[in-house]
Chain A
Amino acid sequence: VRTRILVADGLTVFRAAVHNVLAREHDFDVLEAASAPAVEALVGAERIDVALLDLALPPDGALPALELLRGAGAEVIAWSFEPEAALVLEAIRAGASGYLAKDIAPQGLVRSLRGVARGEAALSRELTALMIAALRDLDERDAAREHVGVLSAREREVLAHVAAGARNRQIAAALSISQFTVKRHVQNILQKLEVATRADAAAFHRAAFGVGERQTA
């Protein structure tokens, strides 16, 4: 059985390139789509085993098409010029089986497509580096969250306000407590987290919960 590959890419050059490369192989059929609507039309009409999906697929990027393809049972490899960490990891979380950079050699592309068709992941050098960095971030986040766990619920509330840049007066108003109490909470927070300044405590909160995320429970 020949593997049916969908190349979903807004650039004709890449669709033509993959088409030409796979035409020399004996075990692939190639479908092409230049946009998410074109992917949608093919998903309903054709069997697709593996999709090579451009992260910048018109009009809104890869994710809508990725969901459609995964829903239809296709394996998906995301690809792009530059491995933008957030986009690549989002694609992996959404079900992509791997990531390839577009400067991949033709033989590498064929090998990856065959591997994914067999159920393997397409772990390019770029994706491996991104995954390791993401795992490290997760470890750091877990450690920071564990550390924040020594704070009382009220102290965590205060810390969230500190991380958002609020002054004691503002925190007191928000939590309906006195500024003196806020000051005492802040001192306790600094002591428990073993940091010297409010800025350090705010950084701790960001490490634990990310920027802009208010974790008060």
Chain B
Amino acid sequence: MTEATRSRPLVVVLYEVPLFVEALDGLFEGLADVRPVPRDGSAEPLVHWLRPDALIVDGPVGFAPDYADAAEVPVVHVDLHESRLGVRSEGRWVDAGADTSPEAIRSALVASLVGEGVR
């Protein structure tokens, strides 16, 4: 599906921990289409091909900030080791606190998608 024909935003979940994807299961129902992408050698070209409207990343951010800045889409970074949530929008990271629950991730993503930023 191309960007023009999407009825809902496409969110790519770039993951290191498979269970992280499971935690988000059903979380964006009715809000966005979610496409999990494992962090391996094909992740970057796949993300470029998918052209998502937003990224959720667990683990090291890797290429995500560069892609997001160029494509002007937000990134929600979930650091499960340090229990921190961060949002990158318009080329800068904003700390979104220590709550890494699925609901907090959804709130951060929705806020960044509608351009409200993180409170």
Contact = CB atoms under 8 A, between A and B. Distances in A.
B18 interface: yes
Interface residues of B, number: 17
A11 B26 contact: no
Contacts of B26: 20
Interface residues of A, number: 16
B81 A16 contact: no
A178 interface: no
Interface stretch (A35-43, A98-106, A136-144, A146-154): A98-106
B100 A18 contact: no
A69 B19 CA distance: 24
Nearest to B103: A12
Given A20-B23, A102-B17, A105-B18, A81 B81 contact: yes
Contacts of A18: 19, 22
A45 interface: no
Given A12-B101, A13-B78, A16-B101, A21 B83 contact: no
Contacts of B83: 11
A102 B101 contact: no
A14 interface: yes
Nearest to B83: A11
B3 interface: no
Contact of B23 (A14, A81, A103, A105): A14
Contacts of B19: 13-14, 17-18, 21, 102-104, 106, 109
Contacts of A14: 19, 23
Interface string A95-117: 00000001111100100000000
Nearest to B59: A103
B21 to A, nearest CB: 8
Given A16-B102, A109-B19, 18 more contacts: A11-B80, A11-B100, A12-B23, A12-B99, A12-B102, A13-B19, A13-B23, A13-B78, A13-B80, A16-B23, A17-B22, A20-B25, A20-B26, A81-B80, A102-B17, A103-B17, A103-B19, A104-B19
Interface of B: 16-20, 22-23, 25-26, 78, 80-81, 83, 99-102
20 contacts: A12-B23, A12-B101, A13-B20, A13-B78, A13-B80, A13-B102, A14-B19, A16-B102, A17-B22, A17-B23, A20-B23, A20-B25, A21-B19, A21-B22, A81-B81, A102-B17, A102-B80, A104-B18, A105-B18, A106-B19
Interface of A: 11-14, 16-18, 20-21, 81, 102-106, 109
Task: For the complex of A and B, list the 3 residue pairs with the smallest distance between their C-beta atoms, beginning with the closest.
Answer: A12-B101, A17-B23, A17-B19
